[in-house]
Amino acid sequence: MLKGKSAIVTGSTSGIGKGIAEALAGSGVNVMLNGFGDAAEIERQRAALASATRVEVAYHPADMSKPADIRDMIASAEKTFGGVDILVNNAGIQHVAPIEQFPDDKWDAIIAINLSSAFHAIKAALPGMRARKWGRIINIASAHGLVASAEKSAYVSAKHGIMGLTKTVGLETAGSGITCVAICPGWVLTPLVQKQIDAKAAAEDLSPEAAKMALVGEKQPSKEFTTPEQIGQTVLFLCSPAADQITGSAISLDGGWVSQ
C-alpha cells in the first residue's frame, strides 16, 4: 500500500522515532533518519535497516533547533527520494524542574526542538505534498499535549502547542489529500523516560524496577508502557486509506491516562 512512498522521521536514531522508521521501512517506505548519536552507530543502523527492508534509507544530521538545518533536511529528502510523502515530527527533549528554577536556556531549547521544529518542517514539506495531492503529517505529541504534570512547564507547553499546530494544519489542508494528526503516547520506555526512572530511583531510594512501576502506575491505569512498535503501527494506520478522514485530531496511546 505504501511501497514507493518516502518519509522523514525526526529524532529517529533511538526510541519512538526508531520504532516508527522501522515500521515505515518494513512497509516499503523509503526513510530519511535524523537524530544525534555516534556517527558509526548511526551508519550501522541505517545500513541494517536498508538491508533488512530493501528500501532506500538515508540520514540527515539536521539540528532540529535550527530552521536552516530543517529546510536543508527537507530539500535533501526531496532530492534523494523525489519527494516527502510522510513527515513524522518526533524529535524531542525534556527537562524537569519547578518553574521558578527552570533554566531559561532549557525552556528555549525545548520550545525550539519540541514545537518550532515541527512548524519549520511542515512549512517546508507542504508545497511538495500539495503538488502531489497526497501527504501525511504526523506529529508525535504526548498525553502532556492534553493534560499537564507539575515541573514540566516547557514540555507541556510545547506539546499543547503541537496540538494547536495539528488542528490548524488539519484545517488548512482539509480536502487536499493531506492529513495532519497528533499521536499522544503515555509513558514509553525510551532513553528520555529511563532518565526519569533513574532519577526517581535515586531520589526515593527505590530499585530500578520499583521506580519504573511507580512512574508508570502513577499516571497510566494500564500499568503498562506504550511501546515504540505500537506507535509505529499506529503511524502505518494513519497512512492508510482507512484514515483519510482523520485529520486535525489526536489519537491517544496512553493506557487510559487522559480518561481519568
Residue tagged active-site, from 155, 187, 225, 257: 155
Helices (H), the chain: 15-26, 39-53, 67-81, 104-111, 117-132, 153-173, 191-204, 208-219, 228-238
Q: How far apart are CA 37 and CA 11, in angstroms?
A: 10
CB 249 within 8 A of CB 181: yes
Indicate if 155 belongs to the active site. Answer: yes
Query: Smallest Cα–Cα separation from 189: which of 14, 45, 40, 62?
Result: 14
Euclidean distance between CA atoms 12 and 30, whole angstroms: 14
As a whole number of angstroms, the distance between CA 118 and CA 115 comes to 6
Count the alpha carbons within 13 Å of 169 in the hemisphere toward its beta carbon: 33
Active site residues: 155
